[in-house]
Structure formats: structure tokens, C-alpha cells
Chains A and B, each alone.
Chain A
Amino acid sequence: MNVSAATPPEAAACVRAAGEAGISCAASKCGHVHLDLRPMQAVRFYQPGDLTVGADAGLTVAALNALLAGHGQFVPLDVAEPERTTLGAVLARHGSGPLRQRFGTVRDFVLGLEMVNDRGEIVHCGGTVVKNVAGYDWMKLMIGARGALGILTGVNFKVFPRPQGIESACFRGLSWPQVEAIRSGLLHSPLRPLAIELQARGGERAVTVTYAGSAAVRGRYRREMSRLGAPEITEGAWPAATPPTNAVYPPAQAVAALQAWEERHQQLSVTGRLGVGAFHVEPAPPPPPVAPAAAGLMRRLKQELDPGGLFHGEDCGPSA
């Protein structure tokens, strides 16, 4: 059953009704009740001078960034399909993109969260200011939990000045050792690129480094880049979004792991973050197992925070 909610109280009422009926509820197609939050699109506040913004979870990433662009600001959420992807979905899936190299993931710039819990109550965590350690930071628990513990209805972000003078350097025709040499070379350099992206497909490998700054800063980057090879420079190009991460490695072990995987899968396709070791890989390698003690803690949290098993998260976290 599809139900739309235009406000947090409407979402809460829907969760209470599902709870009373003893059926599951999700902001994805997983639950008996599919709670569609897309009508919930209000911008709750925007303080350009404080670099803070708060919005409903149903607002899309593209709509939020269109608003922020008016003040030369943005949230560095360069996920695929930003026109269709809601803020709630980015949080639930812990979505990220190439800019993660510089800005971290959404975990690093969410300031506050509003959620409907298993009792149909609207609960809040964090706040609206850029620094805050009051109370448990259960925002972290919800980011990436895929809706398994509640329905996210609102979020406050720290926003950033949008980088000016963007440029990229693309190294093509690389061997795996050359890819690793670029990764390590950048790690030990004083450079702080916005993105370091690997693209590998059918034996062809390229690395694109994106950076920004004045002409003098870009000139410095070009000189440093030429020490790592002979890149092709493109002005004004933002890094392209990629499909969601499905393979994570310690960065220094990533190239060896991908090379080994390629030996088993000639048609390997890889896109993703060379600097942080997070990729979308086809065919996907098996995910690493969750340590048993951590899995036990997740079960206890699910049992405590959703004892009735009301929330059926997308890909469904542990069930009660």
C-alpha cells in the first residue's frame, strides 16, 4: 500500500496506524506500507552567513543545491541522479560521491536529524549549529541503516562554499602499478584534491584528479600532476557521479585487491574513490562479514528501538 505524507506529523500518524495494524512500514518499497515522503519538501531554514540549512527529507539533492547555489554554497552530495534522489534516501543509504575525498561523507556534515520512531513519535537529534555534542549522536546510527530503525523526516546540514576555478587532470592508459603510484604520490603530497577517481573497464584504467583554486593554485597542481605522469587537463569539469559504493578496501590495499579480482573477471568494471578506497565494482565482490559482536549489538539496538519489527528497512537490517 502506498501512502503519501506531506508533513512530519502525517508521517508519524501513518507509522502509528501501521503499528496498530501490526504491519510493517518503510520509506522504501520494502514495507507493507510504502510511505512516500516526496511531497514533504519544505526548506525549514537557510542561514547563508552561518553555512547551515535545514530541510524536509523528501526534498531532492538537486533542489537543495539549486537553493544554495544562489549564495555560492552547496552540500557536497554528488550522488547519482540528484534530481530523483531525496535527502532521506541519501542518509538512509549513506550515499556519497567523488567529492567525498575532500568533504567526507554525509556523516561528517549532518548537524541534526528528525525521525519518526517505532512509537510514531517525532524525535530529534543534534541541532542547527555547526558544533554540538549534547546527547547521544544517534544520527550516525541512522545514516546507512536503510530505514531499519525509523523514518527520517528532516535533516540539518553544514553547507560549504562552492569551490571556484575547478579543473581536472586525467591520467589514461595506466597499469595497476601506475594507478597505485598515483594514489600513493597524492597521499604523500601536500595537495588536497577535491576528488581522486579511478575508472577501470576491460583492461583500460584511468585516474582523474579534480582540484580547484586560483590560476596560481591550479598552476601548482598542474606542475605537481606532471610529476605523476602526463595528464590531460580539462577546465571547469566537475567529477561525474557514479553508482553506489559496493566494495570498500583500505586505500593502500585497494589496487592489489582490484587487480586480483580482475584476474578472475576479465570484464571487470570499476568506478570510485581511489583516495579513500570506496568503489562501485561489477561484478561485485562479496561484502566483508560484519564482526559477530558488532552484529550482536545491532540486533540489540533493533530489539530495543523497534521491538515490534515495524520498520522493514530497504535491504532490511537485522530483523527483530
Chain B
Amino acid sequence: MPPLARLAADLTAKLGAENVLTDPLARTLYEYDGGVDRAQPDLVVFPRSRDQVAAIVRAAAAAGVPIVARGAGTGLSGGAVAREGGVVVAFNRMRRILEVDVENARAVVEPGVVNLELSQSLAPTGFYFAPDPSSQRACTLGGNVAENSGGPHTLLHGVTVNHVTGLEIVLADGSVAQLGGQAGEALPGAWDLTGVVVGSEGTLALVTAVTVKLTRLPEAVGTLLAIYDQVGQAAETVTALTAAGITPSACEMMDGFCLRAIEAATGAGYPMDSAAVLLMDVEGLREEVEEDAERVEAICRAAGARSVRRAADAPERELLWKGRKNAFGAMGRISPNNYVMDGVIPRTRIAPVLEEIEAVGRRHGFRIGNMFHAGDGNLHPLVFFDERAGELPRALACSHDIIQVCVAAGGSITGEHGVGIEKQDLMPLIFADADLAYMERIRRAFNPDGLLNPNKMIPQSRLCGEIRGNAALYREGL
């Protein structure tokens, strides 16, 4: 029996046939995520426990087969795409909330728990899980940990790594390690291994349980929509808010182009004729929200806002946010395909960088839309294109140039979507050879045979034969 068939038989015996997909048609559902890269896995397995995950890793490692973890597949950088083939470990059936410990403001969850479902189930306690990626109705905690996910409200509350205090992981040899887990800081002699595994995109270990920090729901939230006739005025507002020492819990910008599509799709009440809007939340005590909302409104007007609307109640607030949260779905109205990028720039540079990005788009013949986390300078330029017209390669080239604009402004190639396959070859834009080599050494300490999510994040051209090792052999053996 060939090694792969033997592995399939072995895992079927261990997990049951209902938890192993071998059928090629069924496997095609697992060949993509929310990004543009595709690759079909050789097997898809659905563990139901940590011990099953450990058994899968041991069996796959013994067979020299790559192992790729997958949550809901909403990632945008190809992190869950098995580009070297192998076994996709889909965590959808490990979705129990194992423990809620309100007095210590923490919960322990399995990696397949859906982000929004965690916060909804916590609601009666008065607490929630703060990171809120746009995909939060579908994306899983395991995926959030892998990508160190953000979201609109990370401006005030921080990204996933700021809300994860411990992990249970299965290492590349199938052994299990408990990391962190206590609310306190690392004491002498204990390194912050949790912090290294968060954001490692499935290349260091498989996560089987996550200890998260819970955040108290605010007493009051104020939502403001500031409407501008010029994009530059909205950008100016962001700078002025920062200078005034105000940190909204969210500060989202949408340009007129995106806005009109969103409004047509969702009826959130956005103005159809404006150049840009800022959607902002302020939160805290009632007294703080009153004061901050007044200050924010004054700053918006001083920067040239045509009008500033404040949501009167929770339903109106939800309606304003509904537009933003469903924005990506609405983009289908603009063009058959869109490519969303994830660059970061210093937030004082928003206006000139948006102009440069528009110019890049014109050069490549594409219309660029912008809706993004303005408060922390995390841009999400959208390139609108038509794949059937063969425009994808040109759209990717345009995106590459846009990221270079962000880097030239002193920024980063990704703020929350991860590197994965998508930005693997862009890493040298911000890291020197020695930096990338150091990352390889960290990978080697955790994942010496390179079987965990191979050929991701670190440019392949850098990888020496030693680390390409088993994954490359596996591919050649097919």
C-alpha cells in the first residue's frame, strides 16, 4: 500500500470514517480559504479531541506527510491552504467552550469555537472576547490565534495576542505542551512561548485549547458617523483625534466608492454622495462616553466634516455597524472579483498614501476602493477586477505595488491578515536576510522536519535543504 493510502487507512481506523475525507470531490472544498491561492489536500481529517490531534500528527509525521491546520477557512493569506499537499486538520468539530471562569476573567475554549459565538455565549456574564475580525460570525478562535487576528475594535483593545494568556499545543512530534494559562506575567525562568505561537500561522504547532482573557462589556457605547466631502478631511480627523489624546474603541474609514455599494446592499443609512465617512465608537462609563463623543464630534467638524451623526440608540448603532461588518459581501456589486490587501502605515500618512495608492491603481488600470481601520493606520485597499477576463495576474501586480507604497511610508506588509502564501515573497521588503534566517531558526526549534504548514511565511528561496526536508521529499514522492 502506498504511504498515503496507508495513512488514510490508519487515520480512518483511529477517527472513524465519518471524520476522514478521502474523496477528491469532497476535498476540493478544502483547497482554498478567503484569499486567492488554491491547493488540494490529500486528506482532510476532523479530530474531536486533543488526543486525536496528537495521534494524527504522530501518524502524519511518521509517514512524512505535511500537516495543515484549518479553522473556518476565512483567512485571506492562504494560511490554511495545503500548498504542499498532505493532511488538512479541520478543527470544526472541536468547538466546545471548556471553561468559563468569570472571577478570573478568562475562558478556555477549543480551537473550533466561532469568535462571535464565544462572545454571545458570554453575554450573560457581562464579559466578552474583544478581538472582532470582520469574519467573526464564521472565523474560529484557532484561526484567530494562528493569524493573530485583529478587527475594528482592536484600536482600543488590542489584537488576539493581547487577549490570549495560554495555549495547549500539539508539537510536531505529536507531544502535548501546556503554555502559560495563568493571568499573571511570566515569572523568572518561564518564557512567553504563548506569545510566540500566537500569529505563527500554523507553522510551529497545532493549537488544541486556547485560554482567553475576557473583557468587561462597557457600560456605554457612543457611535458616530462623520461625513466628509474630501477624503483628506477624514484622514486629517484621524490625526487630530490622536493629537487630542482620544482613543476611540474603533475608527473606521470608508471611501465614497465603497460606501455607495455598501449602502445599496445593506441600507445602513450611509450618505450616497459623500467622499468618505468615519465610523467611530467611543466606550466607557456613561460620563466618559458623553464627554468623548462631544470632543470627537467637535474634532470632526473642525477637520471639515459636512455633518456628524450620532446613533441615538442600540438599534441605530447596530445598523451603522451592519454596513461595515457586511461591507466585503457588498463589494460584489462593484465588480465580479476584488482583492483585499492589508498594509499598515503610520496613521499620520493616510491622506498622501491613499493618493499614491489611487495613482498605482490608475497605472494598472484598476479602480481601488478603501475601507479600513483608520485609527491604527491599517489599510485595506481593494482592487476590483474580473478574473474571467484574465485580470488576476495584473491585479496581483497592482497589489504588490500598493504594498510597496505602504512599506515606503514606513509601514508593514500585513497588519492582521498574516503572511501565509500571499505575502511570502514580500517579506524581504521589510526584513533583512539575517532577520529571516533568525525566523527560520525559531521554526526549526519547534518544527524541525518542516512538516507543519510547509512553505509559508518565510520565502522559500531562503530555505535550505535541511528545513525543506520532509515536505519537499513528500511532494517529489507523489
Contact = CB atoms under 8 A, between A and B. Distances in A.
Contact of A249 (B147, B176, B184): B184
Contacts of B147: 133
A298 B442 CA distance: 11
Contact of B185 (A122, A133, A278, A315): A278
Interface string B334-348: 000000000011111
A144 B192 contact: yes
Interface in B224-272: 239, 242-243, 245-247
A137 B415 contact: no
Interface string B181-218: 01111111111111110111000100000000000101
Given A131-B159, A135-B439, A145-B191, A124 B432 contact: yes
Contacts of A187: 103, 105, 216
B198 A137 contact: yes
A73 to B, nearest CB: 8
B378 interface: yes
B215 to A, nearest CB: 10
B188 A129 contact: no
Interface in B146-185: 147-148, 150, 154, 158-159, 161-162, 171, 175-179, 182-185
A310 interface: no
B434 interface: yes
A130 B348 CA distance: 12
B376 interface: yes
A252 interface: yes
A217 B427 contact: no
B178 A293 contact: yes
A94 B185 contact: yes
A220 interface: yes
A287 B187 contact: yes
A192 B101 CA distance: 19
A190 B218 contact: yes
Nearest to A73: B245
B130 to A, nearest CB: 12
Interface string B415-444: 111110001000100111011101101111
Contacts of B1: none
B399 interface: no
Contacts of A277: 104, 182-184
Contact of B179 (A288, A294, A300): A294
A130 B216 CA distance: 24
A161 B247 contact: yes
A210 B336 CA distance: 54
A141 B191 CA distance: 6
Given A134-B413, A294-B190, A52 B195 contact: no
Nearest to A131: B415
A31 to B, nearest CB: 17
Interface stretch (A15-23, A103-111, A201-209): A103-111
Contact of A134 (B245, B410, B419): B419
Given A190-B219, A245-B185, A293-B177, A122 B199 contact: no
B451 to A, nearest CB: 16
Interface string A62-75: 00000000001100
A248 B183 CA distance: 8
Interface stretch (B85-93, B284-292, B388-396): B284-292
A290 interface: yes
Contacts of B175: 293
A291 B104 contact: no
Interface in A268-314: 276-278, 287-288, 290-291, 293-294, 296-298, 300-301, 303-305
Range class of the A interface residue count: 35 or more
A133 B195 contact: no
A220 B191 contact: no
Contact of A251 (B183, B185, B373): B183
A133 B378 contact: no
A6 interface: no
B189 A287 contact: yes
Given A135-B427, A294-B190, A301 B242 contact: no
Contact of A127 (B193, B245, B287, B411): B411
Contacts of A73: 245
Contacts of B162: 104, 108
B348 A47 contact: yes
A101 B410 CA distance: 31
Nearest to A146: B188
Contacts of A230: none
Contacts of B346: 47, 49-50, 52, 128-129
B464 interface: no
B161 A248 contact: no
A1 interface: no
A123 interface: yes
Interface string A40-84: 000000011111100000000000000000001100000000000
Contacts of A52: 346
Nearest to A290: B190
A50 B427 contact: no
B414 interface: yes
16 contacts: A49-B346, A51-B242, A123-B438, A129-B344, A131-B373, A133-B147, A134-B414, A134-B419, A136-B200, A138-B442, A140-B161, A187-B216, A188-B216, A214-B291, A217-B291, A248-B185
Given A135-B457, A293-B177, A303-B445, 19 more contacts: A50-B347, A72-B245, A73-B245, A123-B438, A129-B410, A131-B159, A133-B414, A134-B423, A140-B195, A161-B247, A188-B126, A190-B219, A192-B216, A248-B182, A250-B106, A252-B103, A294-B190, A297-B446, A298-B191
Interface of B: 101, 103-106, 126, 147-148, 150, 154, 158-159, 161-162, 171, 175-179, 182-196, 198-200, 204, 216, 218-219, 239, 242-243, 245-247, 284-288, 290-291, 344-348, 373, 376-378, 410-419, 423, 427, 430-432, 434-436, 438-439, 441-446, 457-458
